[in-house]
Amino acid sequence: MMQPTRTSRMRQRRITRRGLLWMGMQMGVIGVLGWRMRQLQIDQSDQFRLLAEENRINIRLLAPNRGLIFDRNGAPIAINDQNYRIVMIREQAGNANEVLDRLGELITLSPERRARIEKDMRQRSAFVPVTVSEHLTWQEFALVSSNAPALPGILPEVGLTRNYPFGQAYAHMVGYVGPVSESDLARMDDPDPLFQIPRYPIGKTGVERNAEETLRGSAGTSRIEVNSIGRIMRELGRDDGIVGKDIQLTLDTGLQEYAMERMGDQSASAIVMDVRNGDIVAMASAPSFDPNKFVRGISTEDWGGLRDNEYRPLSNKSVSGAYPPGSTFKMVVALAAREADVIKPEETVYCPGYYELGGRRFHCWKRGGHGKVDMVNSLKQSCDVYYYEVAKRVGIEAIALKAKQLGLGEKYDIPLPAISRGLVPNKAYKQRVFDQGWLQGDTLNAGIGQGFVLTSPLQLAVMTSRIASGKTIIPRLIKSISGVPQVGVAPEVLDIQTVDIEKVRRGMFAVVNERRGTAYASRIDDNDMVMAGKTGTSQVRQITTEERAAGVTKNEDLPWKRRDHALFVGYAPFDNPRYAVTVIVEHGGGGSSVAAPIARDIMMRALYEGEPPLSAYPAAERNRIRGERERAREAARTDTNATTSSEGN
């Protein structure tokens, strides 16, 4: 037998080592595969089971119910109504255009609506539902539902839509909701996932916008099983999310509606504030608009009518309007003068009808003048010359500081957009803005609430509340959130001498309750409800020397936009103040003849919590008031009969 040679033995050893190496590598690969199989089948089994189920399970966002808004008495002023709507999921529809064609045979889809649907589908992911139509009738909704098997990707849904029961009365305060837009998303740092739902409604203005996060709530989810063609088979689970929080405002619906009615077709604002705690009980801006039209989709014609109306119905004049305060500013000047001790309350200033400074005449509203007037009578008769003299003595810096102390020139933190800060000017302001020095003539103009001075109706209401209460009242609009009371800022006592503020109050009492007072015709003839106040008329045009020589043109003979603004501020009852009222009528003319009667009537509604007794009106007005009430009741009966007849038919 042959013995293996040395060469063959070495070759066998090399083959053995090579085999062992390959065997080791194979065992390693098998080990890795085994480890990976164990990881996939055991350690990650739940994850891959879920991925497999997602081929037949869809997870959808559920929009939460939006929080409701109530008035101070619990009356709902923003609610959610049932909304029958149709949505489409493009990835389940197959040929979306063909499905829309078939749907168009069942319900009306205008070319504009169809274009909007196609745009939404292009901009959204294929699995995101797109709103096709909403606010359907029950008959339309039932028709689509019964034909659902022939409409792949079409889902009939019952959702909620915002409704404002009191329409125009609360349009500026509560605002309205509308579909989220690209500009809305651009303003947000971290948009809510809900905003990916096409036409998801968010607050556009008013409380709806400024309390959006509170009212919105958080999204829920729905897990649904679908078959191979995307048809929903069943709902596997649901998390409804968190509903939005309800908000209760400080507003009173009855008073709010009356304020709107009383201002009529004027371009005006009215505010009633509780002087004890700053609660805004009414805040009305006229003319107004129907917010429900914006929710359901306003027509081009209606939008154009609102946009082009010179009375600016879309603007909340109560907070965004900035007007020269006119003579309602005179209380500020009087208190500044007393603090500086530049004039005594009993000291008189002679008014010949004008005031001369540097060869220029500054005129009083009363051409023949008021003669000698002291502080109380200067307010009672609204003498301009008295305040020219006092303003010159005290100077603009002291006037500006007192205006700030009384709440002017401040931007208040209430949940409304476009709140005006107004303007309380001083020397630094004019230098900064106009690069000019302050003149004494500027001080004289500011002394009667003209020139650079601008205030909003809200600021004037705060000013009046502070004078009435003697405290640093801060306005408040939110009473509670989800039943939890919202505590306002506790007011402090104003740093004003009691004797000085009492003298100003005495002047405001005389304005309304004494003969020759500028608002005597608008008094409340009830000793328990006596009102104090101040009229104001602010010019929006420059009266030339030639016009004065020829005779100043009356307001009613001027174009509307060149007429004076009419103002009135007041509070009541005089001995125990509860409410402050501010009324501004744009280009309304005289404060005593236009604004004061409106303010008196609104104040009486607040004090008597309803229709005031005839005895509370001045005797000369009672027959007129009685006739107006009888006509209103007759009109209400006619409307009721017409409604009953229509329902019977």
Give pLDDT tens digits for 110-159: 888 888 888 888 877 777 778 888 888 888 888 888 888 888 888 888 87
Please give the average per-residue pLDDT across 208-227, as a whole number: 84
Query: Where do the DSSP E strands lie in 37-153?
Result: 57-62, 69-70, 76-88, 130-133
H-helix or E-strand spanning residue 393? helix 384-394
**pLDDT class of 23 with cuts at 50, 70, 90:** confident
Please give the average per-residue pLDDT across 344-354, as a whole number: 96
Q: Per the structure block, which two tokens stand in for 389?
A: 């003299």
Contact 321, 457 (CB under 8 A): yes
pLDDT at res. 89: 82
Q: Per the structure block, which two tokens stand in for 639?
A: 């409307």
Which position has the higher pLDDT, 54 or 509?
509
3-class SS of residue 353: coil
Please give the average per-residue pLDDT across 425-453, as a whole number: 97
Task: Give CA–CA dist 219/229, Å, rounded.
Answer: 27
pLDDT in tens, 58-78: 677 778 889 999 999 999 999
Which position has the higher pLDDT, 264 or 228?
264
**pLDDT class of 272 with cuts at 50, 70, 90:** very high
The shares of helix, strand and coil residues in the chain, as percent rounded to the nearest 5, are 45, 20, 35
The CA distances from residue 182 to 179, 196, 223, in Å, are 10, 11, 29
Alpha-carbon dihedral angle through residues 119, 122, 126, 131, given to the nearest 10 degrees: -10
Query: Of the segments 74-88, 183-197, 278-292, which one has the largest average pLDDT value?
Result: 278-292
Nearest of 584, 11, 49 to residue 316 by alpha carbon? 584
Alpha helices in 414-492 (DSSP H): 427-434, 440-447, 457-469
pTM for the model stands at 0.84
Residues above pLDDT 70, as percent of the chain: 89
Task: Give CA–CA dist 135/145, Å, rounded.
Answer: 15
Strand partners, 536: 567
Q: How confident is the prediction for the chain on average, in pLDDT?
A: 88
**pLDDT class of 1 with cuts at 50, 70, 90:** very low
pLDDT at res. 124: 74
Task: Give CA–CA dist 113/333, Å, rounded.
Answer: 59
Nearest of 85, 84, 67 to residue 76 by alpha carbon? 67
Task: Give CA–CA dist 579/256, Å, rounded.
Answer: 14
Task: Give CA–CA dist 366/370, Å, rounded.
Answer: 7
- The answer to whether residue 318 scores a pLDDT higher than 70 is yes
Task: Give CA–CA dist 453/461, Å, rounded.
Answer: 16
Burial category of 578 from C-beta neighbours within 10 Å (exposed 0-12, middle 13-18, buried 19 and up):
middle
Phi, psi of 258 (to 5 degrees): -65, -40
pLDDT at res. 32: 77
- The answer to whether residue 534 scores a pLDDT higher than 50 is yes
Work out the angle at residue 635's Cα, subtended by the Cα atoms of residues 632 and 637, and round it to the nearest 5 degrees.
110
pLDDT at res. 405: 98
Contact 339, 496 (CB under 8 A): yes
pLDDT at res. 546: 62
* Number of helices (H), then strands (E), in the chain: 25, 21
- The answer to whether residue 423 scores a pLDDT higher than 80 is yes
Q: Per the structure block, which two tokens stand in for 48?
A: 């891959």
Q: At what angle do helices 498-513 and 457-469 cross, to 10 degrees?
A: 120
Q: Per the structure block, which two tokens stand in for 314?
A: 């879309």
Lowest mean pLDDT among 30-44, 109-123, 404-418: 30-44
Lowest mean pLDDT among 74-83, 128-137, 201-210, 363-372: 128-137
pLDDT at res. 40: 66
- 179: preceding bond cis by omega (within 30 degrees): no
pLDDT at res. 51: 47
DSSP state of 518: T
3-state secondary structure 180-234: CCHHHHHCCCCCCHHHHCCCCEEEEEHHHHHCHHHHHCECEEEEEEECCCCCEEE
- The answer to whether residue 205 scores a pLDDT higher than 50 is yes
Task: Give CA–CA dist 448/333, Å, rounded.
Answer: 8
